[in-house]
Amino acid sequence: MMYIDPHIHMCSRTTYDYLVMREYGIVAVIEPAFWLGQPRTNAGSFKDYFSSLVGWERFRASQFGIQHYCTIGLNPKEANNEALATEVMELLPLYACKEGVVAIGEIGYDDMTEAEDKYFCQQLELAKELDMLVLIHTPHRNKKAGAIQSMERCIEYGLDPSQVVIDHNNEETVEEVLGRGFWAAFTIYPQTKMGNARMVEVVRKYGCDRIIVDSSADWGISDPLAVPKTAQLMLDRGIPEEHVRAVCYENALAAYSQTGQMKASDWLNPQSIDQRQLFSGNSVLRGQEPGIKSVSDFVLIE
Amino acid sequence: MSKVNKLLHHWLLKSVSEKAFAWLEHKQAQISSGAAERVFFTAFSAVPRYLGKQDLQLTFQDLEAAEDVIPGWYPGNWSVDQAGRTLLLLALPHDDAQGYVRSLDQVFSTADMGELVALYQSLPLLPHSELHRQRAAEGIRSNMSNVFQAIALRNPYPANYLDNAAWNQMVLKAVFVGSPLHLIWGLDRRANPELAKMLADYAHERWAAKRSVTPELWRPVGRFADSAIVTDLEKVLANGDTAEQEAAALACAESPLPQAQALLSRYPDLQSSIQQGNLTWNNFSRK
């Protein structure tokens, strides 16, 4: 089965992860712009970060046969540094229209401060102006209220719920999000957010319509194989295969292909220029032979 | 309208829809009449969304016309978005050289891979050619193979503007990443003794690691071969496969050293096919 991981922070992962992910059937990833674990102190850091999302990271993924897309945005936590946030807002138009940018995101609330609300709304306006999708990060604390306020703001700023993905849902938010017509994404992440056994039960209870599974794997202890492993668990526990395919592949494609920046042919029939690129670069490989296709090739390190 | 502009316009007209072309012309007009930079930035990014990314369909005559306007310009592998982006770059007001370069710097410093390829490919067409030397040298440092190739291959800018240090790095890196050297425009003209030494050293490194050496490596070496390099060529002639032997023979033929000529005379078949014009770097590289 083919999988899409529509929320994963690959810049925190090693090239080896790409190799394993491809082996487990992940054909495409979406990397939402988010914070790096410590706050950035100037807009230049954001510029380099956004550049790496549309540049180096995408190239690195392509070297292992994975299509890499991203979302561009100012994250909620760092919106609280208003001087910085203002400068970052000026950078966004330089990146939002680039190829493979599938949404403005991940934006939303962390502490639900006034500053977070201000830059969230400004970014909703930008999405509306550029006719883009939005990826919403729901807060870890006060999640239900944060999710509801996010959705209300989206409606207020004229976005159609079908153009908005609400992420990091749990059993407490799912009904509200689906009921209002938004896409409901779930992050399989150890200790926090959603577990894969719980995810099986969510799909059993709510079906597969507008539900999306992702890993959000990042610099924390997290699993870049969370999507294929959850899919396997669903199959083992009797979820119909077409439901598994919907929540681990088709729904992400349906949601994010609305921008025209992501389509199945990108990985089913990669353009010839991408085939020329494949494995012909140098630095990703760090002196290794470019033909490596499987983790088992690493049994002997010469 | 400049000749370059006319050609690009003409080619795009036959390659994209009327609606897409109208969008591009509208953006060109806005940018050339001094619209806010944000218009240039967002339009430059958005070109593939409107024009697509299919190849430009160019005829032999089109390629000849390109070569006539700028020797070495080869748009035969360009796509429509690359041509469209080049037109937007040419629309940017450039009377103020510093301002022009500043705008270019901004777009270079935030560019994605597709944009970088378009930017580096268009360098030989842009105004203020001499101000882009540092930028071209920067392109050579890229880890992205197709960005490197956009500057190094089928691009007359490096041969015309780079100093020897940057030029030599570019050729050596092309060998290192496995790019076909015959696509480097001006390779023979810009061959030099330092480059010959660097390439021969590189061949020794490869041999030490029991790895193969591209026969094309010897192309810029022959004219500047010293006796140590002739010894290398002797080894290649003795142990190499057919392509390697032919390359070493060609290098010998170009060397003014009597030692090299003596070496070549030990391989009369190769020597005569070079003398008769049957074996040349051009037909060698097509193998």
- pLDDT of B49 over the 60 cut: yes
Residue whose pair of structure tokens reads 């690959």 in the numeric block: A10
* Pairs of residues, one from chain A and one from chain B, whose beta carbons lie less than 8 Å apart: 69
For residues B109 and B226, state if they share a domain: no
Q: What is the per-residue pLDDT for A126?
A: 94
Query: Taking residues B62-91, what's their average pLDDT?
Result: 96
For residues B11 and B128, state if they share a domain: yes
Average pLDDT, chain B: 94
For residues B44 and B154, state if they share a domain: yes
Give how far B40 is from chain A: nearest CA, Å: 10
Cβ contact (<8 Å) for B49 and A97? Answer: yes
Any chain B CB within 8 A of the CB of A55?
yes
Examine residue B170 and state whether it is found in any structural domain, yes or no.
no
> Could you give the CA distance from residue A99 to residue A33 in angstroms, rounded to a whole number?
15
Enumerate long-range contacts of A237-243, CB under 8 Å, 24 or more apart: A237/A200, A237/A204, A239/A200, A239/A203, A239/A204, A241/A1, A242/A208, A243/A203, A243/A207, A243/A208
Q: What is the per-residue pLDDT for A294?
A: 62
The model's confidence at residue B248, banded by pLDDT at 50, 70 and 90, is very high
Contacts of A224 (CB under 8 A, 6+ apart): A5, A8, A10, A13, A17, A20, A21, A215, A217
Total residue count of chain B as it appears in this document: 287
Give how far B183 is from chain A: nearest CA, Å: 16
Residue whose pair of structure tokens reads 């470019």 in the numeric block: A290
Neighboring chain B residues of A283 at a CB cutoff of 8 Å: 143
Examine residue B182 and state whether it is found in any structural domain, yes or no.
no
Q: What is the per-residue pLDDT for A98?
A: 95
For residues B126 and B18, state if they share a domain: yes
Examine residue B171 and state whether it is found in any structural domain, yes or no.
no
Query: Taking residues B88-110, what's their average pLDDT?
Result: 94
Q: Which residue of A has its CA nearest to B37?
A: A94
Neighboring chain B residues of A97 at a CB cutoff of 8 Å: 42, 45-46, 49
Examine residue B177 and state whether it is found in any structural domain, yes or no.
no
Neighboring chain A residues of B115 at a CB cutoff of 8 Å: 98
Any chain B CB within 8 A of the CB of A269?
no
Enumerate long-range contacts of A177-182, CB under 8 Å, 24 or more apart: A177/A147, A177/A151, A178/A206, A178/A209, A178/A210, A178/A211, A180/A151, A182/A151, A182/A154, A182/A210
For residues B51 and B150, state if they share a domain: yes
Query: Taking residues B134-159, what's their average pLDDT?
Result: 93
Residue range of the domain that includes B51: 3-163
- pLDDT of B268 over the 80 cut: yes
Query: Taking residues B179-185, what's their average pLDDT?
Result: 94
For residues B259 and B201, state if they share a domain: yes
* Gyration radius of chain B over CA positions: 22
Question: ipTM for the complex?
Answer: 0.73
- pLDDT of B284 over the 80 cut: no
Contacts of B276 (CB under 8 A, 6+ apart): none
* Residue boundaries of the structural domains of chain A: 3-279
Query: Taking residues B150-173, what's their average pLDDT?
Result: 96
Number of domains in chain B: 2
For residues B153 and B252, state if they share a domain: no
For residues B24 and B153, state if they share a domain: yes
Assign A36 to helix, strand or coil.
Answer: coil
For residues B147 and B10, state if they share a domain: yes
Examine residue B178 and state whether it is found in any structural domain, yes or no.
no
Cβ contact (<8 Å) for A95 and B144? Answer: no
Distances, alpha carbon A287 to alpha carbons B176, B209, B210, in Å: 11, 12, 14
A3-279 is a CATH 3.10.450.50 domain:
no
Q: What is the per-residue pLDDT for A271?
A: 60
The pLDDT tens digits along chain A (302 residues) read 999 999 999 999 999 999 999 999 999 999 999 988 889 999 999 999 999 999 989 999 998 899 999 999 999 999 999 999 999 999 999 999 999 999 999 999 999 999 999 999 999 999 999 899 999 999 988 999 999 999 999 999 999 999 999 999 999 999 999 999 999 999 999 877 788 999 999 999 999 999 999 999 999 999 999 999 999 999 999 999 999 999 999 999 999 999 899 999 999 987 643 433 443 343 444 444 445 566 556 555 54
Neighboring chain B residues of A33 at a CB cutoff of 8 Å: none
Distances, alpha carbon A256 to alpha carbons A151, A244, A260, in Å: 18, 18, 8
Of A97, A99, A260, the CB nearest to B114: A99
For residues B21 and B119, state if they share a domain: yes
Q: Which residue of B has its CA nearest to A62?
A: B144
pTM, full prediction: 0.83
Q: What is the per-residue pLDDT for A118?
A: 97
Of B122, B32, B124, B129, the C-alpha closest to B85 is B122
